[in-house]
């Protein structure tokens, strides 16, 4: 994976997507087209993805009860923490308690908490590449050295465990595992996750399990929480309501010590956690109060509908990619809401790299894709498929037109 690997410390996903949007002629302008964004992982942009009535009613009831307009405990409301512990325990061979759960303002804040708690002089952290750039940004602010572990597209974007062993040393504090995968759309097998846990134990560091897309698996492999292996190696599990319940704007996340061996039970560690949460602002109290109802009463049919929609959308993407020679996907998505495709610049006349491709595509066709550089892979693209079928079909029709317009003449073009 040396070819195309890059770092992302000066790039954020929201930053580059904002620049791409600014470069587009709006629909109201003469000649403008409807903007289709397959760049942001926000399913609420499309009407086919909506949260449950249970969630809406729970929040409404909580708000109108007039019981939850004050401050919550800094670690979160006890009833919300207990509900999250019970929800996560359904898939674990042991039971979590509310003391294992700390409520955060989305998963992004959970990432910041995890890295802040692990930071110390000379410490380093192993991050997946491609990955989610917020980790690198947080690490830089906390003076954590970042070491990149390449994911292997030829092996379903598995973590290169040989690279983990060569990169880790006595100052390595953690390995980040994102499963289901963002940006790659992969889902790790039980066997691979066990090997990760065993490697981490051998090398002496813990695992940060980013499971913000937890249970959004629609391929042949089921979602397996990293916490299943908590008895092998301590695991910090990060998650949220955002993706599975399609409410990213509610900013309800969690930071959980999935650690049955009790590595995090030291009173000094718990006190440090609590003191750090004292300086943070968590989600609105009435949103927290709705969590027990949301987690306990959401019908399974809602989740199945979401998975079917994501599977259908990803299938359309894979079929349309085959029709455009300059992009290629070696791995069919199995989960999450995004996939990576490789850009073949040798087939294009006047496109210099992935960033140039995305800006020209945005200006000419009003289609937004995320340059792979933003997630650590130069000359790749991240495509988010959490969109309706009509928008995806139209987006790929325009991408195909873009290819035909920029294709080198010595290569055969499409009929």
**Is the pLDDT confidence value at 28 over 90?**
no
CA dist., res. 193 & res. 161, Å (int): 11
Q: According to the model, what pLDDT value does residue 10 have?
A: 59
Residue 32: pLDDT band with limits 50, 70, 90: confident
Q: According to the model, what pLDDT value does residue 191 have?
A: 98
- The 10s digit of each residue's pLDDT in 243-253 is 999 999 999 99
Q: According to the model, what pLDDT value does residue 409 have?
A: 79
Mean pLDDT of 145-170: 98
CA dist., res. 64 & res. 69, Å (int): 10
Question: Does pTM top 0.85 for this prediction?
Answer: yes
Q: According to the model, what pLDDT value does residue 12 have?
A: 86
- The 10s digit of each residue's pLDDT in 61-74 is 999 999 999 999 99
Q: According to the model, what pLDDT value does residue 132 have?
A: 96
Count of beta carbons in the 10 Å neighbourhood of residue 27 = 11
Give me the phi and psi of 8, to 5 degrees please.
-125, 20
Mean pLDDT of 176-199: 98
Determine contact, residues 222/76, Cβ cutoff 8 Å: no
Mean pLDDT of 394-406: 98
- Length of the chain equals 415
Q: According to the model, what pLDDT value does residue 181 have?
A: 98
Determine contact, residues 258/225, Cβ cutoff 8 Å: yes
Tell me the two tokens of residue 77: 């409301």
Mean pLDDT of 374-380: 97
336 dihedral zone (left: phi>0; alpha: psi -120 to 50; beta): left
Mean pLDDT of 146-165: 98
Q: According to the model, what pLDDT value does residue 11 have?
A: 73
User: Percent of the chain scored above 90 by pLDDT?
Assistant: 91
Give me the phi and psi of 398, to 5 degrees please.
-70, -40
10 vs 124, more confident: 124
CA dist., res. 332 & res. 341, Å (int): 10
Residue 1: pLDDT band with limits 50, 70, 90: very low
Tell me the two tokens of residue 327: 């992009």
**Is the pLDDT confidence value at 377 over 80?**
yes
**Is the pLDDT confidence value at 413 over 70?**
no
Q: Where do the domains of the chain lie, and which CATH numbers do they carry? A: 13-38+301-406 (3.90.1150.10), 53-297 (3.40.640.10)
């Amino acid at each position: 994976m040396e070819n195309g690997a890059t770092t992302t410390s000066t790039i954020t996903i929201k930053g580059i997507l904002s620049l791409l949007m600014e470069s587009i002629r709006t629909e109201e302008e003469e000649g403008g087209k409807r903007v289709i964004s397959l760049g942001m992982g926000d399913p609420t942009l499309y009407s086919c993805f909506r949260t449950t009535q249970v969630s809406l009613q729970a929040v409404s009831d909580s708000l109108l009860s007039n019981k939850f307009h004050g401050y919550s405990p800094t670690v979160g409301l006890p009833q919300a923490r207990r509900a999250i512990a019970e929800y996560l325990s359904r898939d674990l061979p042991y039971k979590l308690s509310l003391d294992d759960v700390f409520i955060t303002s989305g998963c992004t804040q959970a990432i910041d908490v995890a890295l802040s708690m692990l930071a110390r002089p000379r410490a380093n952290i192993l991050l997946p590449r491609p990955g989610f750039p917020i980790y690198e940004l947080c690490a830089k602010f906390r003076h954590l050295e970042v070491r990149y572990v390449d994911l292997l597209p030829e092996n379903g974007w598995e973590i290169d465990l040989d690279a983990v062993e060569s990169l880790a040393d006595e100052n390595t504090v953690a390995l980040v595992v994102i499963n289901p995968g963002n940006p790659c759309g992969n889902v790790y097998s039980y066997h691979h996750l066990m090997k990760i846990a065993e490697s981490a134990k051998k090398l002496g560091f813990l695992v940060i399990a980013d499971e913000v897309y937890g249970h959004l698996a629609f391929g042949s492999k089921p979602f397996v929480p990293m916490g299943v292996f908590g008895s092998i190696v301590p695991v910090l599990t990060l998650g949220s309501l955002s993706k599975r319940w399609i409410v990213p704007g509610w900013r309800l996340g969690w930071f959980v010590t999935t650690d049955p061996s009790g590595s995090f039970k030291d009173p000094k560690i718990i006190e440090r956690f609590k003191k750090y949460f004292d300086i943070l602002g968590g989600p609105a109290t009435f949103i927290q109060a709705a969590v027990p109802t949301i987690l306990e009463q959401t019908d399974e049919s809602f989740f199945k509908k979401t998975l079917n929609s994501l599977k259908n959308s990803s299938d359309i993407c894979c079929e349309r990619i085959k029709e455009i020679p300059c992009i290629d996907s070696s791995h069919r998505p199995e989960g999450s809401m995004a996939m990576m495709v490789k850009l073949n610049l040798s087939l294009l006349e006047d496109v210099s790299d992935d960033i140039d491709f995305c800006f020209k595509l945005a200006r000419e066709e009003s289609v937004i894709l995320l340059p792979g550089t933003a997630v650590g892979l130069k000359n790749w693209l991240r495509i988010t498929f959490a969109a309706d079928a009509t928008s995806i079909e139209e987006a790929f029709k325009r991408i195909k037109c873009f290819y035909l317009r920029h294709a080198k003449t010595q290569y055969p073009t499409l009929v």
